Structure formats: C-alpha cells, structure tokens
Amino acid sequence: MFSEQIIVITGGSSGLGLELGRRLAAEGARLILIARDRQKLDRAAQELRSCHGGTHVSVESLDVCDEAATNACMQHIADVHGRIDMLINSAGILREGYFEKLALMDFRDVMEVNYFGLLIATRAALPHLKASRGRLVNISSMAGLAGAFGYTPYCASKHALVGLTESLRYELEPEGIKVHLVCPGEFDSPMVDELECYRTPENRAHAQTIPKATVATIADATLDGIRADRFLIVTGRATRLAAFANRHFPALTRVFGDRTIRRVRRTRA
Ligand SMILES: NC(=O)c1ccc[n+]([C@@H]2O[C@H](COP(=O)([O-])OP(=O)(O)OC[C@H]3O[C@@H](n4cnc5c(N)ncnc54)[C@H](OP(=O)(O)O)[C@@H]3O)[C@@H](O)[C@H]2O)c1
C-alpha cells in the first residue's frame, strides 16, 4: 500500500515518527523526515537507509512552528518528488507538573508545537495532499480524549488537535483526502524517558492506569488503522477500553482516577 508513496513525517527523527518510518521504509515508501535537530535527523536517516538498502530517505531540519519555513519546505518536497501522498504529524512536546507550579510559558510552548505546529504543517501540505488525494495522519493521544493529572498543558493541546482533526475531516474527505486521528496511551519513547526524570507520582499512577505500550505496537496499530481507512485509531485493547469507558461512563472514569490519585497521596503521606 505504501510502496513508492511520498510520505512526510514531522517528528520523524525519534519515537513514534521514527518507528513509523522504519515500517514504511520496509514497505518501499519514499520518506522525508522533519525535525529541528539536524544530527538526530541524519542518524535516523542513516539507520533507515542501512536497514532497508535502496530506500529513499531525505531529511529537512525545520521547526514546524515557523510558518514561512514550513510552507517553503513542503513546496520544496513537492517540487523535488512531484507530489506528497501522506503527511504524518507526529512532532510533539510534553510538559508535566502541578498546574500551580507550571509557568504560563509551559502552556504556550506546548500549544505552539502540538497544536499550531501541526496546524501549520497541515496547511502547508494541503494543496499537495489535495492534488494527490492523499492522507493526513494526526498523532494526538489518549490525553486528547480524557483529562489526566499533571497534564494540564498537554491535555489541552491534544484536545485542541482532536477538535481540529474532527472538524477538518468534514472538509477534507469530500476533497478526496483521508484523515486519520491517532490516540495512543503512554508508550516507551525518548519523550517518556525525559518525563520519567521529573514527573509527579500522581501523573505516573494515573497515566499508567493503562499499561505502558511499546512504540512498536503503537506503530503497528497506527498502520493497521490507516490500511483499514479508520478515522479514529485508538491503539491497543486497554486504551480502547479506557476510551470507551471515558466516553460512555465518564463519571466512573473520574471515580477511578480520583481513587488512584488518593492512593498515591496516602502512600506519600
Ligand atoms: N510517548 C508517549 O507516551 C505518547 C503517547 C501519546 C501520544 N504521543 C504523541 O506521539 C507523538 C510522538 O511522540 P514521541 O513519544 O515519539 O516523542 P519523541 O520521541 O520526543 O519525538 C518527538 C519528535 O518531534 C520532534 N519535534 C519536537 N518539536 C518540534 C518542532 N517544533 N518542530 C519540528 N519537530 C519537532 C522531535 O525532534 P526535535 O526535538 O529535534 O525537533 C522528535 O523528532 C507526539 O505528538 C506525542 O505527543 C506520545
């Protein structure tokens, strides 16, 4: 399905973006990885080329919050490759902490990358996705479907991108663009390694009510969902169960969450 497809992955140098890149490279896709750190991008591209000889992988060092640079980059990709078949928006950042201790800048930074960065990349790729009748894949999170302790900036940004993607779907599907909204629970990645250095115990217990998954299982579930043309891709049985419970029995979900947080606080007291 992905062979010879021109696929742009923001956040393609690390974590889920890179793991999706590994699978897509194995299927013969032509990949363009976008992130800010040039060295990390080069390492990722080298790994993909060495594992899948003959794979085309190029990199673009770019901050997706920079609208002019992102527009120019997408146009450059379309000029060089002739089209863009799929944009995967995986670039994201995380800040966790007690609401009262977080700075206003934490909220702005997270919204800037997770929401506006994705919006900017999507707008820049849109004319090319229209031309190819391609696919848009937005990586949100279970934190875009439910609240979580310590995630006030992150949940707000991921809820915003759920609303954006739900609305965009109505506009883009008639134009022939398939839209996918991916909502994973927590999985192992450099983002979570960094989080482990400072996260609140309440956040760890609450977020890991759904057991942490491997990035490999999240990438497989994401690609299965794309192949099946599913709009909402909630990855893994436990996360699907949590999403179902949150949607249909939100009061119950809150009771469980409150109890988890009380338990953590009792053991700390
Ligand atoms: N890990 C989890 O448990 C989890 C759960 C649910 C959803 N998600 C979501 O899944 C996506 C991938 O997360 P991950 O865990 O794979 O994170 P990760 O390993 O930290 O990767 C994040 C990627 O985004 C890039 N990036 C960050 N800010 C950027 C910017 N302004 N412009 C361009 N690129 C930028 C990073 O590279 P540079 O820093 O070099 O720019 C990196 O390539 C994120 O959207 C995240 O919110 C993660």
For residue 16, give the ligand 1 atom closest to its CA: 16
User: What is the tens place of the pLDDT at every residue in 200-212?
Assistant: 999 999 998 999 9
The whole-number pLDDT of residue 208 equals 87
What's the mean pLDDT in 121-148?
98
0.75 exceeded by the pTM? yes
Tell me the percentage of the chain whose pLDDT exceeds 90: 96
The full set of domains in the chain, from first to last, is 6-268 (3.40.50.720)
Of all protein residues, the one whose alpha carbon is nearest to atom 46 of ligand 1 is: 92
pLDDT over 80 at 188, yes or no? yes
Of all protein residues, the one whose alpha carbon is nearest to atom 20 of ligand 1 is: 191
User: What is the tens place of the pLDDT at every residue in 71-125?
Assistant: 999 999 999 999 999 999 999 999 999 999 999 999 999 999 999 999 999 999 9
What residues act catalytically?
154
Pocket lining: 184 vs ligand 1, CB cutoff 6 Å = yes
Structure tokens given for 95: 């800040």
The whole-number pLDDT of residue 2 equals 93
Of all protein residues, the one whose alpha carbon is nearest to atom 34 of ligand 1 is: 35
The whole-number pLDDT of residue 53 equals 77
What are the φ/ψ torsions at residue 35 (nearest 5 degrees)?
-165, 180
Question: 78 CA distance to ligand 1 centroid (A)?
Answer: 24
The whole-number pLDDT of residue 154 equals 98
The whole-number pLDDT of residue 87 equals 98
Pocket lining: 257 vs ligand 1, CB cutoff 6 Å = no
Pocket lining: 113 vs ligand 1, CB cutoff 6 Å = yes
Of all protein residues, the one whose alpha carbon is nearest to atom 36 of ligand 1 is: 11
Mean pLDDT of the chain: 96
Pocket lining: 82 vs ligand 1, CB cutoff 6 Å = no
User: What is the tens place of the pLDDT at every residue in 158-182?
Assistant: 999 999 999 999 999 999 999 999 9
